[in-house]
Structure 1
């Protein structure tokens, strides 16, 4: 996840800078990453603690095909990860 902080922090053992992928450079399928958020969990209970799940990226062509089947166009800059043949992931319910 990417955070924008209101002030500078001291770098130390657990606070480090990481490199972010270049714009326009696709992320390879099966790249390990994490999703995090608050809201409802798999049993629909509202949680107060930040939940984190390990996920892997999905081939963008396969992802778009899946969404095309339900007639949902994906933006060009989308990154598909998790929730694909797994029990871990994140979603937005409207």
Structure 2
């Protein structure tokens, strides 16, 4: 009888919670979007003929902008992980 009562009380108070809050997941998605944008900006600039050099591969977008966006995205991911989840007082 006592064990059933304890199990009943534990089940009532046990509530599934996520490790991260809604705000954390939003920042994670934003960070993934920025990283994906950086990789998309890094693509291209190649040549169909391997004997022909295409100087577009050294475009500022591929050399400076894209890596900075990727690093910014990783920074956003770190912030999303380290931010305290939303806590609501009940």
TM-score range, shorter chain: under 0.3
Looking at both structures, which has the greater relative contact order when contacts are Cα pairs under 8 Å and sequence separation is at least 6? 2
**If each structure's helix is expressed as a fraction of its own residues, which one has the higher value?**
2
Report the TM-score, using the length of structure 2 for normalisation.
0.22
Larger Rg: 2
